[in-house]
Chain A
Amino acid sequence: MKCALKVEEEAKYLVELGVEPYPILPIRIFREELKKTISTDALMDTGFDGAMVLSRSLSNFILDRIVKADGFEELDAAGIGIPCDTCILHIYVGGRWFKVGAHMPRMGDLGTILGRRVLNRLTLCLRGPQGKVFLAKS
């Protein structure tokens, strides 16, 4: 099969001492109460079947500015239930906007993670040897 991807955006792998390089995607997060749009990075994690987990700093920032979390849900992290506040956000990734439910763990910090609920909507090409991620036009 010949690859006919038309690249929309290019992202990269992060290289850190002691861990295998990992792919990240630049994302933007919007919610009315925030007034502005948040620009950050998220780990691509096909082992997460939800849409998104927010880092501790992002969770705190968002929870400080919205009246109340939209809900509560337990996240099953490797068999351990982590209590999470949830909130509905708009996220921009790969040239598209999605409305997603984001998990905000009440304890610990898992970082910002994009899961399969979002990744499965995107056409991605992982070029590990080059340390690049290509987002294609869907």
Chain B
Amino acid sequence: MKVEVIGEIVKALGERPKSVREIAREVGVGWKTCSRYLESLRGLGLVVEVKTAKGSLYTTHGSRRAKLLTVPRVRVGASFELIDEGPPSMGEVEDLT
């Protein structure tokens, strides 16, 4: 395994979880090579595989998690109602994902 490739993979994963295909493209290696590297890094506990509806994503073990500083003592939103209201038009949605 090449240290440079490992460095590039870890760097690529620093931004956000990514698929093998995305990582391979960014690092400049083949899909199979990238997959082998990720499998080894996963075995070492440096990379985590997250299974999603659209396939597997990889992220570094110490990647940023959303933080809740304190656990609220109150519980809001236990009840809800369904209303007849249409979806927003795509132009008016601000993407915060």
Beta-carbon contact of B97 and A101 below 8 Å = yes
Chain A interface SS verdict (over half): strand
Separation in Å of the B97 CB from the closest CB of chain A? 5
Beta-carbon contact of A14 and B74 below 8 Å = yes
Q: How many residues of B contact A (CB 8 A)?
A: 37
**What CA separation (Å) do A39 and B84 show in the bound complex?**
10
Beta-carbon contact of B68 and A75 below 8 Å = yes
**What CA separation (Å) do A53 and B68 show in the bound complex?**
10
Separation in Å of the B3 CB from the closest CB of chain A? 29
Beta-carbon contact of B65 and A81 below 8 Å = yes
Beta-carbon contact of A70 and B52 below 8 Å = yes
> Which residues of chain A are within 8 angstroms of B78 by Cβ–Cβ distance?
55-57, 109, 111-112
- Supposing A68-B53, A121-B94 touch, asked if A40 and B66 sit within 8 A by C-beta, the answer is no
Q: Which of B6-14, B26-34, B38-46, B85-93 contacts the other chain? A: B85-93
Which B residues are within 8 Å of any A CB, using their own CB? 17, 50-54, 57, 65-88, 92-97
> Apart from A71-B52, A110-B75, what 4 extra A-B contacts exist at CB < 8 Å?
A39-B80, A47-B69, A50-B67, A99-B96
Which A residues are within 8 Å of any B CB, using their own CB? 14, 16, 19, 22, 24, 28, 30, 32, 34, 36-43, 45, 47-51, 53-58, 61, 67-78, 81, 88, 90, 92, 96-101, 103, 109-113, 115, 117-118, 121
